[in-house]
Chains A and B, each alone.
Chain A
Amino acid sequence: MATTENTAENTAEVTETARGLIALPQTAARALIAVGAVATIASTFMSWTYTADFPGDLTYYGSPAGLQILDLVAGAITLLFALTLFDVRGLRWLNPAGATAPVVLAAASAFAVSWFSAIAIAVDLKGLVALDPGAYVTAIGSLIALVGTLALPSPGDTFKDWVSKPDRIPAAQKLPGWAERLVITAATAVALIVFTYGIGVDPEASETFIGYLLLVIFGTWALQAAGLFDRFATFNARHKGFATSMAFLAAAVFPFVENNEHNANLGVNILVVATVALGLNIVVGLTGLLDLGYVAFLGVGAYAAALVSGSEFSRFSGVQFPFWAAMLTGMAASLVFGVLIGAPTLRLRGDYLAIVTLGFGEIFRITVNNLDGSSGPNITNGPNGISMIPDLDIFGFNLGNSHDIGSITLGRFANYFLLMLIITGIVVIVFNRAADSRIGRSWIAIREDETAATAMGINGFRVKLIAFALGASLAGLAGTVSAHVGYSVNPAPYQFAGSVPPNSAFLLAAVVLGGMGTVNGPILGATLLYLLPEKLGFLKEYQLFAFGIALVILMRFRPEGIIANRRRQLEFHESDDSIDIPEQGLPDSTVGVTKAGA
């Protein structure tokens, strides 16, 4: 924060520690990286192992597969970043500060993927004999590149300096509007490709998915350290509407690109949990109310929709509402339930509210379990739930049937994916509009300081109840679709913590991991949390344990979540380097971006 001091330090560093950890001439260092990167790339065209037993079949010469493709990408990124150091024309934008950290991280991504692959092959196939020359080439090539980066000018004394964004990044030259939109489009396309690749990884091939994760983590980290995300964020802020529509377009394209029912099903489920997490974000992220029983609202919506779906197991089996009425019913039921729970509990603060909502969440599940005709009136069919829910029919368009669009067949789950995407879009709009308004400001004010907020004329109870009810009805809306997608509803998933995703702990973790108070955060958080156990089969039993570890690590190193609300980021990291906060102003450059994250 103290800018003058930093400048002094930096100039001192430049003169003192211009050399890297390994004493090598700069040209040699750069050449090493480039050679290593090229070797890594070349290795992916060779065979890595002799047998097709290893997932992905890495036995061919001339055609990269599985982990090799990932390694190819990692090698290419490393080479590109290495070339930025040679001042190659047209590549400067990739690393505007000419910084060391992004190169280190890119090389680390190649190193991680290569060595992970080699080790995984050796371990899976019992021995180094399983390795073909290609595996040695990739291991050595990526090692050379990584060693080369260590000889680059040192960005600082600590490990943190080696892997984080430099303090100052020269401003980019101003692009015309259309070019900025082009960048947004390209980035969205890349994101779609990355996501589709990840979701398409064979669930049996956990090795490939780990390689994918390594590449994604180090790759995005490298881009972040190069300052490209910040730059992209300013583009996004400038073309907000365009960026949002591009994101939705990309999501809508997904079922066409990934034309596979299983993966489309994954996509629907991800959208459902992401939407519910976004609703929870209104309650937790904006208003600061810790709701540990939120999943009950999803359940209420799902049950309400199931009851009016026309299923023969429903108490009202003769009743079949059209889809819009079913959705309104689900929303209304959750809304009523939300108000009923909220009205008595929202007068409590902090921990008390958390405990009471936890209790109410469980009460919902247990009640639904018991309304089976023997322990209570038969409404929900008890633990058996309501099954055989017919598919939704929207104006004659039956979502259960496949439909051909051009040469592409959209299956049942693809249909639901598109429907759910519209709902997610609605929820995003609701979130954004509500947050940026009088009512949203009063939510945030209550989160910040409830006493001061009431002294400013905010009726705390009323405003909190609105947040609670809105969050509940959004969850209910998602619930109606999820009931139809899954053919049936039963009480089991609507619990506080469990191994099957839609549970309160999962949703909370998605919000906290992704970033509280943001739109993208909970969506990303829910995607990651849903996809990881799905693709990493061996994690299944340890899922909750892995959750815990991930949360602890994240809270230690990035308490604001993966996607930081600009505000939150300031809140959590300010004290890292400056203790005396109120005395120091914020540098103007950061202030300009404040709005972007909001």
Chain B
Amino acid sequence: MTTTTATSPVLEASGVTMRFGGLTAVRSVDLTVNSGEIVGLIGPNGAGKTTFFNCLTGLYVPTEGKVSYKGTVLPPKPHLVTSAGIARTFQNIRLFANMTVLENVLVGRHTRTKEGLWSALLRGPGFRKAEAASRERAMELLEFIGLAHKADHLSRNLPYGEQRKLEIARAMASEPGLLLLDEPTAGMNPQETRATEDLVFAIRDRGIAVLVIEHDMRFIFNLSDRVACLVQGEKLVEGTSEVVQGDERVIAAYLGTPFEGAPGAEELAEVEAAEAAEATGTPETAEAPEATETPEAAETPEAAESDAAAEGTTSKEGNAQ
């Protein structure tokens, strides 16, 4: 929760809108990330968080709005965005499955090395030096995330948690000024999640600003200097963890809006119990934990947090691809 004094903006997104036909997945979102900051991005499933990331990194061309990095407007081309200094990871892990761990990180170095086909064919001293330097840098990153001993393994053979870490190392290899993490702890157990927390702090301490999407509320509120909440494509609130945690609209967005004017907990419980009864025949759905825990959740913010975390765990199953 430390806030660093430096306040020069690294990322400025203004009025970013993304429409898919009739669906507006992201609606006029403004977001700023300052250097040395960790910013969290939360929101229920389908809120448009990943779509927003894709707009930032040029994978989607935003329908409206612009994204600038350290003052210069970014063209919507992924490779140009990366060479400008924004790197990312993917929600559904996208490693180069049949390359080794080391090679994956080396690919991440692509924008920071220059050797073309000719120097590869001629193998001059410059090429060798650059290649050795790349390897050294990549090994250093593997050391940093704790995967150096598996440098020669095929990335497809790594356990889930390590694959996520490797994605982070691969992204860091491009020496970014801003790192976008899309659900970095999805599929991790509590210990791994805690380790990832430390990892993100360590990344921040290296001078890299971080924008992180996460459903694990404890994780996000521990980590972030600021949190923005996206609901149905719109930014609902933005502020410190305390502010966002206490915001009724956020809780409502996660837990569903009660009937107009009458938020009675018993009523809600009744309705959802009925729903649960209806759904008994079917296997456990994402609503199930919500239904049982809602009444308590409405009472204390801590409960809301754990509840949301529970939702997070269910959601990632839906998202794994």
Which residues of A approach B to under 8 Å, CB–CB?
A: 429-430, 433-434, 437-442, 444-445, 448-449, 451-460, 466, 470, 567-568, 570-571, 574, 581-586, 591-592, 594-595
User: Considering residues B98, B115, B152, which has the most beta carbons from chain A within 10 angstroms of its beta carbon?
Assistant: B98
Binds A, one of B153-161, B229-237, B285-293: B153-161
Whether A457 contacts B99 in the complex (CB less than 8 A), given A439-B117, A451-B94, comes out as no
- Report the minimum CB–CB distance from A346 to chain B (whole Å): 15
- Whether A582 and B121, one on each chain, are in contact in the complex, defined by CB atoms closer than 8 angstroms, is no
Binds A, one of B9-17, B22-30, B103-111, B249-257: B103-111
CB-defined contacts of A430 to chain B, threshold 8 Å: 121
Q: Of A437, A574, A583, A592, which contacts B115 at CB under 8 A? A: A437
- Whether A459 and B153, one on each chain, are in contact in the complex, defined by CB atoms closer than 8 angstroms, is no
Q: Of B59, B153, B171, which contacts A591 at CB under 8 A? A: B153
Q: Does B306 contact A (CB under 8 A)?
A: no
> For the complex, would chain A's binding face be called helix, strand, loop or mixed by DSSP majority?
helix
- Whether B108 and A456, one on each chain, are in contact in the complex, defined by CB atoms closer than 8 angstroms, is yes
Whether A452 contacts B90 in the complex (CB less than 8 A), given A567-B98, A582-B156, comes out as yes
Whether A586 contacts B154 in the complex (CB less than 8 A), given A430-B121, A456-B82, comes out as yes
- Report the minimum CB–CB distance from B102 to chain A (whole Å): 10
- Whether A457 and B160, one on each chain, are in contact in the complex, defined by CB atoms closer than 8 angstroms, is no
A-B contact list, 27 entries, CB within 8 Å = A433-B123, A434-B121, A437-B117, A437-B120, A438-B113, A438-B134, A440-B120, A441-B106, A444-B99, A448-B97, A448-B98, A451-B94, A455-B59, A455-B78, A455-B82, A455-B90, A456-B170, A457-B79, A457-B174, A458-B79, A567-B98, A570-B154, A571-B156, A582-B160, A584-B157, A586-B157, A591-B152
Whether A570 contacts B98 in the complex (CB less than 8 A), given A439-B117, A466-B117, A585-B159, comes out as yes
Q: Does B88 contact A (CB under 8 A)?
A: yes
Q: Does B83 contact A (CB under 8 A)?
A: yes
- Whether A470 and B97, one on each chain, are in contact in the complex, defined by CB atoms closer than 8 angstroms, is no
Q: Does B313 contact A (CB under 8 A)?
A: no
Question: What's the interface size class on B, roughly?
Answer: 35 or more
Q: Does B95 contact A (CB under 8 A)?
A: yes
A85 to B83, CA, bound (A): 62
User: Considering residues A444, A456, A460, which has the most beta carbons from chain B within 10 angstroms of its beta carbon?
Assistant: A456
- Report the minimum CB–CB distance from B180 to chain A (whole Å): 10
CB-defined contacts of B57 to chain A, threshold 8 Å: 455
- Report the minimum CB–CB distance from B166 to chain A (whole Å): 12
CB-defined contacts of B78 to chain A, threshold 8 Å: 451, 454-455, 457
- Report the minimum CB–CB distance from A565 to chain B (whole Å): 9
Which residues of B approach A to under 8 Å, CB–CB?
A: 57, 59, 78-79, 82-83, 87-88, 90, 94-100, 103, 106-111, 113, 115-117, 119-121, 123, 127, 130-131, 134, 150, 152-154, 156-160, 163, 170-171, 174
A307 to B127, CA, bound (A): 38
User: Considering residues A458, A466, A581, which has the most beta carbons from chain B within 10 angstroms of its beta carbon?
Assistant: A458
A594 to B157, CA, bound (A): 13
Beyond A439-B115, A451-B78, 10 extra complex contacts between A and B, CB < 8 Å: A429-B121, A434-B121, A437-B117, A441-B107, A445-B107, A448-B96, A455-B78, A455-B94, A456-B170, A457-B79
- Whether A441 and B159, one on each chain, are in contact in the complex, defined by CB atoms closer than 8 angstroms, is no
Q: Of A445, A459, A466, A583, which contacts B99 at CB under 8 A? A: A445
A-B contact count (CB 8 A): 132
Q: Of A439, A453, A460, A591, which contacts B120 at CB under 8 A? A: A439
Whether A433 contacts B174 in the complex (CB less than 8 A), given A455-B78, A567-B98, comes out as no
CB-defined contacts of A442 to chain B, threshold 8 Å: 107, 110
CB-defined contacts of B127 to chain A, threshold 8 Å: 437
A586 to B162, CA, bound (A): 14
A448 to B174, CA, bound (A): 19
CB closest chain-A residue, reference B167: A452
CB-defined contacts of A449 to chain B, threshold 8 Å: 94-97
Whether A458 contacts B107 in the complex (CB less than 8 A), given A448-B97, A567-B154, comes out as yes
- Whether A438 and B115, one on each chain, are in contact in the complex, defined by CB atoms closer than 8 angstroms, is yes
- Whether A434 and B107, one on each chain, are in contact in the complex, defined by CB atoms closer than 8 angstroms, is no
- Whether B170 and A586, one on each chain, are in contact in the complex, defined by CB atoms closer than 8 angstroms, is no
CB-defined contacts of B107 to chain A, threshold 8 Å: 441-442, 445, 453, 456, 458
Whether A595 contacts B123 in the complex (CB less than 8 A), given A438-B115, A449-B94, A586-B157, comes out as no
Whether A594 contacts B100 in the complex (CB less than 8 A), given A456-B170, A586-B154, comes out as yes
CB-defined contacts of A574 to chain B, threshold 8 Å: 156
CB-defined contacts of B108 to chain A, threshold 8 Å: 456-457
- Report the minimum CB–CB distance from A353 to chain B (whole Å): 20
The 9 closest A-B pairs by CB, nearest first: A437-B120, A457-B111, A457-B82, A452-B94, A448-B96, A454-B78, A567-B98, A586-B157, A445-B107
Q: Of A460, A568, A585, A591, which contacts B79 at CB under 8 A? A: A460
CB closest chain-B residue, reference A1: B157
Q: Of B103, B152, B154, which contacts A441 at CB under 8 A? A: B103
- Report the minimum CB–CB distance from B208 to chain A (whole Å): 16
- Whether A595 and B157, one on each chain, are in contact in the complex, defined by CB atoms closer than 8 angstroms, is no
- Whether B96 and A458, one on each chain, are in contact in the complex, defined by CB atoms closer than 8 angstroms, is no
Whether A457 contacts B110 in the complex (CB less than 8 A), given A438-B115, A445-B96, A571-B98, comes out as yes
CB-defined contacts of B163 to chain A, threshold 8 Å: 582
- Report the minimum CB–CB distance from A328 to chain B (whole Å): 16
- Report the minimum CB–CB distance from B118 to chain A (whole Å): 10
- Whether B59 and A451, one on each chain, are in contact in the complex, defined by CB atoms closer than 8 angstroms, is yes
A444 to B154, CA, bound (A): 13
- Report the minimum CB–CB distance from B148 to chain A (whole Å): 14
- Whether B159 and A583, one on each chain, are in contact in the complex, defined by CB atoms closer than 8 angstroms, is yes
CB-defined contacts of B170 to chain A, threshold 8 Å: 456
CB closest chain-A residue, reference B120: A437
CB-defined contacts of A439 to chain B, threshold 8 Å: 115-117, 120
A584 to B88, CA, bound (A): 26
CB closest chain-B residue, reference A565: B98
- Whether A448 and B120, one on each chain, are in contact in the complex, defined by CB atoms closer than 8 angstroms, is no
CB-defined contacts of A586 to chain B, threshold 8 Å: 153-154, 157
A445 to B115, CA, bound (A): 16
A441 to B138, CA, bound (A): 14
- Report the minimum CB–CB distance from B135 to chain A (whole Å): 11
- Whether B98 and A568, one on each chain, are in contact in the complex, defined by CB atoms closer than 8 angstroms, is yes
A289 to B156, CA, bound (A): 22
CB-defined contacts of B117 to chain A, threshold 8 Å: 434, 437, 439, 466, 470
CB closest chain-A residue, reference B151: A591
CB-defined contacts of A584 to chain B, threshold 8 Å: 157
CB-defined contacts of B113 to chain A, threshold 8 Å: 438
CB closest chain-B residue, reference A595: B152
